[in-house]
Chain A
Protein backbone atom coordinates (compact mmCIF):
# COMPACT_ATOMS: atom_id res chain seq x y z
CA UNK A 1 0.00 0.00 0.00
CA UNK A 2 1.62 3.27 -1.09
CA UNK A 3 1.88 6.22 1.29
CA UNK A 4 -0.91 8.80 1.16
CA UNK A 5 0.16 12.44 0.88
CA UNK A 6 -3.21 14.14 0.36
CA UNK A 7 -6.54 12.86 1.51
CA UNK A 8 -9.96 14.45 1.18
CA UNK A 9 -12.55 12.94 3.51
CA UNK A 10 -16.27 13.60 3.36
CA UNK A 11 -15.76 17.02 1.80
CA UNK A 12 -18.76 19.26 1.26
CA UNK A 13 -18.33 22.48 -0.69
CA UNK A 14 -20.89 24.87 -2.12
CA UNK A 15 -20.92 28.39 -3.55
CA UNK A 16 -24.15 29.98 -2.34
CA UNK A 17 -26.82 27.59 -3.68
CA UNK A 18 -24.51 25.82 -6.10
CA UNK A 19 -23.25 22.58 -4.56
CA UNK A 20 -19.90 21.47 -5.98
CA UNK A 21 -18.99 18.55 -3.72
CA UNK A 22 -21.16 16.35 -1.54
CA UNK A 23 -19.47 13.79 0.69
CA UNK A 24 -16.47 13.66 -1.62
CA UNK A 25 -13.50 11.39 -0.92
CA UNK A 26 -10.20 11.32 -2.73
CA UNK A 27 -6.73 10.02 -1.96
CA UNK A 28 -3.45 10.99 -3.55
CA UNK A 29 -0.45 8.70 -3.09
CA UNK A 30 3.11 9.97 -2.79
CA UNK A 31 4.92 10.10 -6.11
CA UNK A 32 1.98 9.29 -8.36
CA UNK A 33 0.33 11.34 -11.07
CA UNK A 34 -3.38 11.55 -10.44
CA UNK A 35 -5.65 13.08 -13.04
CA UNK A 36 -9.02 14.53 -12.17
CA UNK A 37 -11.40 14.49 -15.12
CA UNK A 38 -14.94 15.71 -15.50
CA UNK A 39 -17.04 18.17 -17.47
CA UNK A 40 -16.36 21.89 -17.55
CA UNK A 41 -17.85 23.92 -14.73
CA UNK A 42 -18.38 20.98 -12.39
CA UNK A 43 -15.71 22.23 -10.02
CA UNK A 44 -12.60 20.26 -10.82
CA UNK A 45 -10.40 23.28 -10.12
CA UNK A 46 -12.12 23.72 -6.76
CA UNK A 47 -10.58 20.41 -5.75
CA UNK A 48 -7.07 21.82 -6.29
CA UNK A 49 -7.89 25.04 -4.48
CA UNK A 50 -9.13 23.04 -1.49
CA UNK A 51 -5.84 21.13 -1.43
CA UNK A 52 -3.71 24.24 -1.41
CA UNK A 53 -5.93 26.12 1.03
CA UNK A 54 -7.16 28.83 -1.34
CA UNK A 55 -10.67 27.62 -0.60
CA UNK A 56 -12.00 25.96 2.52
CA UNK A 57 -14.49 23.14 2.66
CA UNK A 58 -17.69 23.62 4.64
CA UNK A 59 -17.57 20.08 5.94
CA UNK A 60 -15.07 17.27 5.92
CA UNK A 61 -11.32 17.21 6.06
CA UNK A 62 -8.60 18.06 3.59
CA UNK A 63 -5.46 16.38 4.90
CA UNK A 64 -1.98 17.10 3.67
CA UNK A 65 0.57 14.80 5.24
CA UNK A 66 -1.90 14.18 8.04
CA UNK A 67 -2.65 17.84 8.80
CA UNK A 68 -5.98 19.50 8.09
CA UNK A 69 -5.46 22.26 5.53
CA UNK A 70 -8.81 23.79 6.44
CA UNK A 71 -7.64 24.44 10.00
CA UNK A 72 -4.34 26.03 9.03
CA UNK A 73 -3.47 29.62 9.87
CA UNK A 74 -1.56 31.96 7.60
CA UNK A 75 1.86 30.79 8.73
CA UNK A 76 1.07 27.10 8.32
CA UNK A 77 -0.40 27.77 4.88
CA UNK A 78 2.85 29.44 3.82
CA UNK A 79 4.71 26.36 5.04
CA UNK A 80 2.26 24.15 3.14
CA UNK A 81 2.75 26.13 -0.05
CA UNK A 82 6.51 25.74 0.31
CA UNK A 83 5.87 22.04 -0.36
CA UNK A 84 2.98 22.26 -2.79
CA UNK A 85 2.72 24.60 -5.74
CA UNK A 86 0.05 25.21 -8.29
CA UNK A 87 0.09 25.88 -12.01
CA UNK A 88 -2.93 28.03 -12.76
CA UNK A 89 -5.21 27.84 -15.74
CA UNK A 90 -3.94 30.46 -18.19
CA UNK A 91 -0.68 30.66 -16.28
CA UNK A 92 -1.59 33.59 -14.02
CA UNK A 93 1.83 35.12 -14.59
CA UNK A 94 2.24 38.53 -12.98
CA UNK A 95 1.75 41.06 -15.78
CA UNK A 96 3.85 43.73 -14.11
CA UNK A 97 6.93 41.52 -13.76
CA UNK A 98 9.29 40.03 -16.30
CA UNK A 99 9.89 36.30 -16.69
CA UNK A 100 12.81 36.27 -14.26
CA UNK A 101 10.86 38.06 -11.53
CA UNK A 102 7.92 35.73 -12.11
CA UNK A 103 9.98 32.55 -11.87
CA UNK A 104 11.93 33.86 -8.88
CA UNK A 105 8.88 35.11 -6.99
CA UNK A 106 8.48 32.16 -4.62
CA UNK A 107 12.24 32.04 -4.00
CA UNK A 108 12.17 35.69 -2.95
CA UNK A 109 9.21 35.03 -0.63
CA UNK A 110 10.32 31.74 0.87
CA UNK A 111 14.11 31.80 0.89
CA UNK A 112 17.01 34.11 1.60
CA UNK A 113 18.68 33.35 -1.72
CA UNK A 114 20.75 36.13 -3.33
CA UNK A 115 19.76 37.62 -6.67
CA UNK A 116 22.54 35.66 -8.39
CA UNK A 117 21.30 32.39 -6.89
CA UNK A 118 17.74 33.20 -7.89
CA UNK A 119 18.89 33.94 -11.44
CA UNK A 120 20.75 30.64 -11.60
CA UNK A 121 17.76 28.71 -10.26
CA UNK A 122 15.37 30.50 -12.65
CA UNK A 123 17.54 29.60 -15.65
CA UNK A 124 17.71 26.01 -14.43
CA UNK A 125 13.90 25.83 -14.19
CA UNK A 126 13.40 27.43 -17.61
CA UNK A 127 15.84 24.86 -18.99
CA UNK A 128 13.73 22.09 -17.42
CA UNK A 129 10.60 23.32 -19.19
CA UNK A 130 12.46 23.60 -22.49
CA UNK A 131 12.87 27.38 -22.57
CA UNK A 132 16.60 27.45 -21.95
CA UNK A 133 17.71 28.37 -25.45
CA UNK A 134 16.81 32.06 -25.54
CA UNK A 135 19.03 34.05 -23.13
CA UNK A 136 16.87 37.18 -23.42
CA UNK A 137 13.67 35.41 -22.47
CA UNK A 138 14.06 36.20 -18.78
CA UNK A 139 13.75 39.94 -19.46
CA UNK A 140 10.58 39.65 -21.52
CA UNK A 141 7.16 40.55 -20.12
CA UNK A 142 4.39 37.90 -19.98
CA UNK A 143 2.23 39.85 -22.44
CA UNK A 144 4.82 39.32 -25.18
CA UNK A 145 4.87 35.51 -24.79
CA UNK A 146 2.79 33.00 -26.72
CA UNK A 147 0.19 30.91 -24.88
CA UNK A 148 2.39 27.81 -24.84
CA UNK A 149 5.39 29.74 -23.55
CA UNK A 150 3.31 31.39 -20.85
CA UNK A 151 2.14 27.97 -19.60
CA UNK A 152 5.72 26.75 -19.54
CA UNK A 153 6.97 29.81 -17.69
CA UNK A 154 4.13 29.24 -15.21
CA UNK A 155 5.32 25.67 -14.71
CA UNK A 156 8.88 26.92 -14.26
CA UNK A 157 7.61 29.37 -11.63
CA UNK A 158 5.88 26.53 -9.78
CA UNK A 159 8.89 24.20 -9.70
CA UNK A 160 11.41 26.89 -8.72
CA UNK A 161 10.79 26.27 -5.04
CA UNK A 162 11.30 22.50 -5.51
CA UNK A 163 7.86 21.45 -4.33
CA UNK A 164 6.89 17.91 -3.41
CA UNK A 165 3.48 18.26 -5.01
CA UNK A 166 2.51 20.13 -8.18
CA UNK A 167 -1.12 20.90 -8.94
CA UNK A 168 -1.89 21.53 -12.61
CA UNK A 169 -5.16 23.31 -13.38
CA UNK A 170 -6.14 22.61 -16.99
CA UNK A 171 -2.53 22.71 -18.21
CA UNK A 172 -3.36 22.24 -21.88
CA UNK A 173 -6.55 24.26 -22.27
CA UNK A 174 -6.31 26.72 -25.13
CA UNK A 175 -3.14 25.25 -26.60
CA UNK A 176 -2.62 23.75 -30.05
CA UNK A 177 -2.11 19.95 -30.26
CA UNK A 178 1.66 20.24 -30.51
CA UNK A 179 1.93 22.41 -27.44
CA UNK A 180 -0.44 20.01 -25.62
CA UNK A 181 2.04 17.22 -26.33
CA UNK A 182 4.92 19.35 -25.12
CA UNK A 183 3.10 20.03 -21.84
CA UNK A 184 2.17 16.36 -21.39
CA UNK A 185 5.78 15.32 -21.88
CA UNK A 186 6.86 17.99 -19.45
CA UNK A 187 4.53 16.71 -16.75
CA UNK A 188 5.93 13.21 -17.20
CA UNK A 189 9.49 14.47 -17.29
CA UNK A 190 9.13 16.58 -14.16
CA UNK A 191 7.63 13.66 -12.32
CA UNK A 192 10.48 11.39 -13.41
CA UNK A 193 13.29 13.87 -12.79
CA UNK A 194 12.05 15.59 -9.66
CA UNK A 195 10.05 12.72 -8.20
CA UNK A 196 7.11 14.99 -7.45
CA UNK A 197 3.51 14.02 -6.86
CA UNK A 198 1.37 15.55 -9.59
CA UNK A 199 -2.34 16.22 -9.65
CA UNK A 200 -3.66 17.21 -13.03
CA UNK A 201 -7.11 18.62 -13.62
CA UNK A 202 -8.25 18.34 -17.22
CA UNK A 203 -11.15 17.47 -19.46
CA UNK A 204 -8.86 16.35 -22.28
CA UNK A 205 -8.77 12.59 -22.41
CA UNK A 206 -5.54 12.12 -24.43
CA UNK A 207 -3.62 14.09 -21.81
CA UNK A 208 -5.29 12.18 -18.98
CA UNK A 209 -4.42 8.80 -20.46
CA UNK A 210 -0.89 9.83 -21.34
CA UNK A 211 0.31 11.19 -18.01
CA UNK A 212 -1.75 9.41 -15.34
CA UNK A 213 -0.96 6.62 -12.97
CA UNK A 214 -4.53 6.90 -11.76
CA UNK A 215 -7.60 8.78 -12.92
CA UNK A 216 -10.51 10.00 -10.81
CA UNK A 217 -13.68 11.04 -12.57
CA UNK A 218 -15.89 13.73 -11.08
CA UNK A 219 -19.50 12.71 -11.41
CA UNK A 220 -22.54 13.75 -9.41
CA UNK A 221 -20.47 15.90 -6.98
CA UNK A 222 -18.00 13.24 -5.93
CA UNK A 223 -15.47 10.80 -7.40
CA UNK A 224 -17.31 7.49 -7.82
CA UNK A 225 -14.94 6.23 -10.49
CA UNK A 226 -11.25 5.92 -9.70
CA UNK A 227 -8.61 3.68 -11.18
CA UNK A 228 -5.70 3.25 -13.52
CA UNK A 229 -6.23 4.34 -17.13
CA UNK A 230 -6.72 0.69 -18.11
CA UNK A 231 -9.28 0.09 -15.39
CA UNK A 232 -11.18 3.18 -16.48
CA UNK A 233 -11.19 1.96 -20.06
CA UNK A 234 -12.65 -1.34 -18.93
CA UNK A 235 -15.38 0.18 -16.77
CA UNK A 236 -18.84 -0.54 -18.07
CA UNK A 237 -20.67 2.35 -16.32
CA UNK A 238 -22.34 4.40 -19.03
CA UNK A 239 -21.30 7.72 -17.42
CA UNK A 240 -17.64 6.79 -17.68
CA UNK A 241 -17.91 5.36 -21.17
CA UNK A 242 -19.79 8.39 -22.42
CA UNK A 243 -17.28 10.79 -20.98
CA UNK A 244 -14.23 8.98 -22.26
CA UNK A 245 -15.70 8.59 -25.70
CA UNK A 246 -16.99 12.16 -25.74
CA UNK A 247 -20.70 11.37 -25.97
CA UNK A 248 -23.13 13.94 -24.60
CA UNK A 249 -25.11 12.64 -21.68
CA UNK A 250 -28.82 13.46 -21.72
CA UNK A 251 -29.73 16.07 -19.16
CA UNK A 252 -26.14 16.64 -18.17
CA UNK A 253 -25.51 19.58 -20.43
CA UNK A 254 -26.96 22.12 -18.08
CA UNK A 255 -24.20 21.64 -15.50
CA UNK A 256 -21.80 23.82 -17.35
CA UNK A 257 -22.63 27.04 -15.49
Chain B
Protein backbone atom coordinates (compact mmCIF):
# COMPACT_ATOMS: atom_id res chain seq x y z
CA UNK B 1 0.00 0.00 0.00
CA UNK B 2 2.69 2.47 1.05
CA UNK B 3 4.66 1.36 -1.96
CA UNK B 4 1.88 2.16 -4.43
CA UNK B 5 1.23 5.54 -2.82
CA UNK B 6 4.92 6.36 -3.15
CA UNK B 7 4.81 5.24 -6.79
CA UNK B 8 1.75 7.36 -7.50
CA UNK B 9 3.42 10.42 -6.00
CA UNK B 10 6.60 9.78 -7.98
CA UNK B 11 4.56 9.30 -11.14
CA UNK B 12 2.69 12.55 -10.61
CA UNK B 13 5.96 14.33 -9.90
CA UNK B 14 7.45 12.99 -13.12
CA UNK B 15 4.39 14.16 -15.02
CA UNK B 16 4.62 17.67 -13.60
CA UNK B 17 8.35 17.81 -14.28
CA UNK B 18 7.85 16.79 -17.91
CA UNK B 19 5.11 19.39 -18.34
CA UNK B 20 7.35 22.13 -16.94
CA UNK B 21 10.28 21.12 -19.14
CA UNK B 22 8.03 20.94 -22.21
CA UNK B 23 6.60 24.40 -21.49
CA UNK B 24 10.03 25.83 -20.81
CA UNK B 25 11.40 24.43 -24.08
CA UNK B 26 8.27 24.99 -26.13
CA UNK B 27 7.93 28.71 -25.69
CA UNK B 28 11.37 29.23 -27.20
CA UNK B 29 11.96 29.58 -30.93
CA UNK B 30 11.54 27.66 -33.15
CA UNK B 31 8.05 26.77 -31.99
CA UNK B 32 7.83 23.67 -34.17
CA UNK B 33 4.68 24.88 -35.92
CA UNK B 34 5.04 22.28 -38.65
CA UNK B 35 5.31 19.45 -36.11
CA UNK B 36 2.31 20.78 -34.21
CA UNK B 37 0.15 20.89 -37.33
CA UNK B 38 1.31 17.46 -38.33
CA UNK B 39 0.30 16.14 -34.90
CA UNK B 40 -3.07 17.90 -35.01
CA UNK B 41 -3.78 16.14 -38.28
CA UNK B 42 -2.40 12.84 -37.04
CA UNK B 43 -4.35 12.91 -33.76
CA UNK B 44 -7.33 15.16 -34.32
CA UNK B 45 -8.40 14.60 -37.89
CA UNK B 46 -7.88 10.86 -37.66
CA UNK B 47 -10.06 10.79 -34.54
CA UNK B 48 -13.06 12.31 -36.34
CA UNK B 49 -14.76 8.98 -37.17
CA UNK B 50 -14.50 7.73 -33.58
CA UNK B 51 -15.69 11.09 -32.23
CA UNK B 52 -18.66 10.96 -34.59
CA UNK B 53 -19.72 7.45 -33.60
CA UNK B 54 -19.23 7.99 -29.86
CA UNK B 55 -21.18 11.26 -29.82
CA UNK B 56 -23.95 9.83 -31.93
CA UNK B 57 -24.63 7.03 -29.50
CA UNK B 58 -24.08 9.04 -26.34
CA UNK B 59 -26.65 11.57 -27.49
CA UNK B 60 -29.16 8.87 -28.31
CA UNK B 61 -28.67 6.77 -25.19
CA UNK B 62 -28.72 9.67 -22.78
CA UNK B 63 -31.84 11.19 -24.33
CA UNK B 64 -33.48 7.80 -24.21
CA UNK B 65 -32.73 7.36 -20.52
CA UNK B 66 -33.82 10.87 -19.58
CA UNK B 67 -36.95 10.59 -21.72
CA UNK B 68 -37.91 7.33 -20.05
CA UNK B 69 -37.35 8.72 -16.55
CA UNK B 70 -39.17 12.00 -17.24
CA UNK B 71 -42.19 10.19 -18.70
CA UNK B 72 -42.92 8.83 -15.22
CA UNK B 73 -43.46 12.37 -14.02
CA UNK B 74 -45.33 13.34 -17.15
CA UNK B 75 -42.51 15.74 -17.90
CA UNK B 76 -41.08 14.24 -21.06
CA UNK B 77 -41.17 17.67 -22.72
CA UNK B 78 -38.31 18.67 -20.43
CA UNK B 79 -36.05 16.03 -21.99
CA UNK B 80 -34.14 18.67 -23.97
CA UNK B 81 -33.36 20.72 -20.90
CA UNK B 82 -32.22 17.70 -18.91
CA UNK B 83 -30.09 16.20 -21.66
CA UNK B 84 -28.39 19.48 -22.53
CA UNK B 85 -26.88 20.09 -19.10
CA UNK B 86 -25.61 16.54 -18.70
CA UNK B 87 -24.23 16.30 -22.23
CA UNK B 88 -22.55 19.68 -22.58
CA UNK B 89 -21.17 20.00 -19.08
CA UNK B 90 -20.22 16.43 -18.40
CA UNK B 91 -20.83 13.48 -20.65
CA UNK B 92 -19.46 14.63 -24.01
CA UNK B 93 -16.15 16.02 -22.71
CA UNK B 94 -15.57 13.08 -20.37
CA UNK B 95 -16.57 10.26 -22.70
CA UNK B 96 -14.57 11.74 -25.54
CA UNK B 97 -11.53 12.12 -23.27
CA UNK B 98 -11.89 8.51 -22.16
CA UNK B 99 -12.26 7.10 -25.66
CA UNK B 100 -10.73 9.47 -28.22
CA UNK B 101 -8.28 10.80 -25.64
CA UNK B 102 -7.19 7.30 -24.65
CA UNK B 103 -6.77 6.42 -28.33
CA UNK B 104 -4.57 9.47 -28.87
CA UNK B 105 -2.54 8.87 -25.72
CA UNK B 106 -1.91 5.18 -26.36
CA UNK B 107 -0.84 6.04 -29.89
CA UNK B 108 1.72 8.43 -28.47
CA UNK B 109 2.95 5.95 -25.86
CA UNK B 110 3.36 3.19 -28.42
CA UNK B 111 5.19 5.45 -30.84
CA UNK B 112 7.49 7.13 -28.33
CA UNK B 113 7.97 3.86 -26.43
CA UNK B 114 9.17 2.15 -29.60
CA UNK B 115 11.49 5.08 -30.22
CA UNK B 116 12.78 4.78 -26.66
CA UNK B 117 13.57 1.06 -26.84
CA UNK B 118 15.28 1.44 -30.22
CA UNK B 119 17.36 4.33 -28.80
CA UNK B 120 15.88 6.83 -31.26
CA UNK B 121 15.18 9.26 -28.42
CA UNK B 122 18.82 9.07 -27.32
CA UNK B 123 19.77 9.53 -30.97
CA UNK B 124 17.79 12.76 -31.18
CA UNK B 125 19.63 14.07 -28.13
CA UNK B 126 23.02 12.96 -29.38
CA UNK B 127 22.39 14.65 -32.75
CA UNK B 128 22.02 17.94 -30.96
CA UNK B 129 18.24 18.30 -30.65
CA UNK B 130 16.09 18.22 -27.54
CA UNK B 131 13.75 15.20 -27.45
CA UNK B 132 11.21 16.98 -25.23
CA UNK B 133 11.07 19.92 -27.60
CA UNK B 134 10.97 17.72 -30.69
CA UNK B 135 8.54 15.06 -29.52
CA UNK B 136 6.65 16.06 -26.38
CA UNK B 137 5.91 19.73 -26.98
CA UNK B 138 4.14 19.33 -30.37
CA UNK B 139 2.13 16.38 -29.09
CA UNK B 140 0.89 18.15 -25.96
CA UNK B 141 -0.05 21.28 -27.92
CA UNK B 142 -1.80 19.22 -30.59
CA UNK B 143 -3.82 17.23 -28.06
CA UNK B 144 -4.72 20.42 -26.18
CA UNK B 145 -6.03 21.98 -29.40
CA UNK B 146 -7.64 18.87 -30.85
CA UNK B 147 -9.70 17.65 -27.90
CA UNK B 148 -11.78 20.85 -27.39
CA UNK B 149 -12.48 20.99 -31.15
CA UNK B 150 -13.58 17.38 -31.16
CA UNK B 151 -15.68 18.16 -28.11
CA UNK B 152 -17.49 21.00 -29.91
CA UNK B 153 -18.18 18.68 -32.83
CA UNK B 154 -19.28 15.96 -30.42
CA UNK B 155 -21.73 18.34 -28.75
CA UNK B 156 -23.40 19.18 -32.04
CA UNK B 157 -23.69 15.52 -33.04
CA UNK B 158 -24.93 14.42 -29.61
CA UNK B 159 -27.59 17.14 -29.61
CA UNK B 160 -28.76 16.20 -33.09
CA UNK B 161 -28.91 12.48 -32.37
CA UNK B 162 -30.68 13.20 -29.05
CA UNK B 163 -33.23 15.30 -30.93
CA UNK B 164 -33.93 12.45 -33.30
CA UNK B 165 -34.59 10.08 -30.39
CA UNK B 166 -36.80 12.67 -28.63
CA UNK B 167 -38.80 13.15 -31.81
CA UNK B 168 -39.15 9.52 -32.85
CA UNK B 169 -39.43 7.75 -29.50
CA UNK B 170 -41.00 10.31 -27.17
CA UNK B 171 -42.97 12.46 -29.61
CA UNK B 172 -41.13 15.59 -28.53
CA UNK B 173 -40.67 17.55 -31.77
CA UNK B 174 -37.07 18.04 -32.85
CA UNK B 175 -37.51 21.81 -33.01
CA UNK B 176 -38.91 21.92 -29.48
CA UNK B 177 -36.10 19.69 -28.22
CA UNK B 178 -33.57 22.04 -29.80
CA UNK B 179 -35.31 25.10 -28.34
CA UNK B 180 -35.33 23.77 -24.78
CA UNK B 181 -31.84 22.34 -25.20
CA UNK B 182 -30.30 25.66 -26.12
CA UNK B 183 -32.23 27.93 -23.75
CA UNK B 184 -31.32 25.73 -20.81
CA UNK B 185 -27.62 26.39 -21.34
CA UNK B 186 -25.80 29.45 -20.09
CA UNK B 187 -22.55 30.55 -21.72
CA UNK B 188 -20.74 29.28 -18.64
CA UNK B 189 -22.00 25.76 -19.28
CA UNK B 190 -20.33 25.79 -22.67
CA UNK B 191 -17.19 27.31 -21.26
CA UNK B 192 -16.93 24.83 -18.41
CA UNK B 193 -17.35 21.93 -20.84
CA UNK B 194 -14.67 23.35 -23.11
CA UNK B 195 -12.35 24.04 -20.19
CA UNK B 196 -12.67 20.42 -19.18
CA UNK B 197 -11.79 19.30 -22.71
CA UNK B 198 -8.83 21.64 -22.70
CA UNK B 199 -7.45 20.26 -19.44
CA UNK B 200 -8.14 16.70 -20.59
CA UNK B 201 -6.24 17.50 -23.78
CA UNK B 202 -3.18 18.57 -21.81
CA UNK B 203 -3.40 15.43 -19.67
CA UNK B 204 -3.83 13.14 -22.68
CA UNK B 205 -0.76 14.56 -24.42
CA UNK B 206 1.28 14.63 -21.23
CA UNK B 207 0.46 11.12 -20.03
CA UNK B 208 0.82 9.65 -23.51
CA UNK B 209 4.29 11.15 -23.89
CA UNK B 210 5.43 10.52 -20.32
CA UNK B 211 4.58 6.82 -20.51
CA UNK B 212 6.42 6.60 -23.83
CA UNK B 213 9.54 8.21 -22.36
CA UNK B 214 9.36 6.03 -19.26
CA UNK B 215 9.32 2.81 -21.31
CA UNK B 216 12.10 0.49 -20.13
CA UNK B 217 13.86 -2.04 -22.35
CA UNK B 218 12.54 -4.38 -24.99
CA UNK B 219 9.41 -4.57 -27.08
CA UNK B 220 7.43 -6.10 -24.21
CA UNK B 221 7.93 -2.87 -22.29
CA UNK B 222 6.09 -0.94 -25.01
CA UNK B 223 3.01 -3.08 -24.40
CA UNK B 224 3.26 -2.57 -20.65
CA UNK B 225 3.59 1.21 -20.99
CA UNK B 226 0.67 1.39 -23.38
CA UNK B 227 -1.56 -0.58 -21.04
CA UNK B 228 -0.53 1.67 -18.16
CA UNK B 229 -1.47 4.68 -20.26
CA UNK B 230 -5.06 3.47 -20.59
CA UNK B 231 -5.33 2.92 -16.85
CA UNK B 232 -3.70 6.25 -16.04
CA UNK B 233 -5.90 8.16 -18.50
CA UNK B 234 -9.06 6.61 -17.07
CA UNK B 235 -8.20 7.40 -13.48
CA UNK B 236 -6.73 10.85 -14.06
CA UNK B 237 -9.56 12.01 -16.36
CA UNK B 238 -12.30 10.96 -13.95
CA UNK B 239 -10.47 12.38 -10.95
CA UNK B 240 -9.83 15.68 -12.71
CA UNK B 241 -13.43 15.78 -13.90
CA UNK B 242 -14.64 15.40 -10.35
CA UNK B 243 -12.38 18.17 -9.10
CA UNK B 244 -13.36 20.52 -11.91
CA UNK B 245 -17.06 19.81 -11.48
CA UNK B 246 -16.78 20.77 -7.82
CA UNK B 247 -15.01 23.96 -8.80
CA UNK B 248 -17.56 24.89 -11.48
CA UNK B 249 -20.68 23.95 -9.52
CA UNK B 250 -20.24 25.32 -6.00
CA UNK B 251 -23.25 24.37 -3.91
Size bracket of the A interface: 20 to 34
A106 touches B122 (CB 8 A): no
Spell out B's residues near A (CB within 8 Å): 114-115, 118-120, 122-130
A106 touches B118 (CB 8 A): no
By DSSP majority rule, is chain B's interface helix, strand, loop, or mixed? Answer: helix
B126 touches A52 (CB 8 A): yes
**Binary CB contact string for chain A from 69 to 104 against chain B (1 if under 8 A, 0 otherwise):** 000001001100110011011101111000000000
Known contacts A92-B120, A95-B120; A109 and B129 CB within 8 A of each other: yes
A88 touches B127 (CB 8 A): no
**A233 interface residue per 8 A CB criterion:** no
B128 touches A54 (CB 8 A): no
A85 touches B126 (CB 8 A): yes
B120 touches A81 (CB 8 A): no
Which residue, B122, B124, B126, has most C-beta atoms of chain A within 10 A? B126
Task: For the complex formed, measure the closest distance between the CB of B12 and the CB atoms of chain A, giving whole angstroms.
Answer: 20
Task: For the complex formed, measure the closest distance between the CB of B85 and the CB atoms of chain A, giving whole angstroms.
Answer: 43
B119 touches A106 (CB 8 A): no
**A110 interface residue per 8 A CB criterion:** yes
**Binary CB contact string for chain A from 149 to 160 against chain B (1 if under 8 A, 0 otherwise):** 000000001000
Task: For the complex formed, measure the closest distance between the CB of A93 and the CB atoms of chain B, giving whole angstroms.
Answer: 8
Q: Chain B residues with Cβ under 8 A from A157's Cβ?
A: 127
B130 touches A82 (CB 8 A): no
Known contacts A90-B118, A92-B118; A109 and B127 CB within 8 A of each other: yes
Complex Cα–Cα for A89 and B126 (A): 13
Complex Cα–Cα for A88 and B123 (A): 7
Complex Cα–Cα for A161 and B126 (A): 12
Nearest 9 pairs of A and B residues by beta carbon: A92-B119, A92-B123, A106-B127, A109-B128, A88-B119, A86-B126, A109-B129, A81-B128, A110-B128
Complex Cα–Cα for A81 and B128 (A): 6
Q: Chain B residues with Cβ under 8 A from A54's Cβ?
A: 122, 125-126
Q: Chain B residues with Cβ under 8 A from A81's Cβ?
A: 125-128
Residue of B nearest to A52 (CB): B126
From B120, B127, B130, contact of A85 by CB (8 A): B127
Complex Cα–Cα for A196 and B122 (A): 22
Q: Chain B residues with Cβ under 8 A from A161's Cβ?
A: 127-128
A82 touches B128 (CB 8 A): yes
Task: For the complex formed, measure the closest distance between the CB of B137 and the CB atoms of chain A, giving whole angstroms.
Answer: 14
A106 touches B120 (CB 8 A): no
Task: For the complex formed, measure the closest distance between the CB of B136 and the CB atoms of chain A, giving whole angstroms.
Answer: 15
**A22 interface residue per 8 A CB criterion:** no
Task: For the complex formed, measure the closest distance between the CB of A53 and the CB atoms of chain B, giving whole angstroms.
Answer: 8
